[in-house]
Amino acid sequence: MRCPCGCGERIELMVLEEAHTRWDITIDDAGRPTLHPSVWRKSGCRSHFWMRRGRIHWCD
């Protein structure tokens, strides 16, 4: 996915069950994704956000 801050950087998240550090993704009936845990870029724009039901919720 592309970073939602607008910087254009690509974010790759591991969702494989075998991965040690991974994200869980669920899709609701409307096709909207939810990710757990939050996404926190440690470099570049350093964005930190949750994705819930397809919407971005920024962390302070």
How many structural domains compose the chain?
A: 1
pLDDT-derived band at 18 (thresholds 50, 70, 90) equals confident
Could you list the residue range(s) of the whole structural domain that residue 3 is in? Answer: 1-60
What is the pLDDT, as a whole number, of residue 36? Answer: 95
Half-sphere exposure of 29 (CA within 13 A, CB side): 0
In the chain, the amino acid numbered 47 is S
User: H/E element holding 33?
Assistant: strand 33-36
What is the pLDDT, as a whole number, of residue 19? Answer: 82
pTM (predicted TM-score): 0.85
Question: What's the average model confidence in pLDDT over 11-37?
Answer: 92
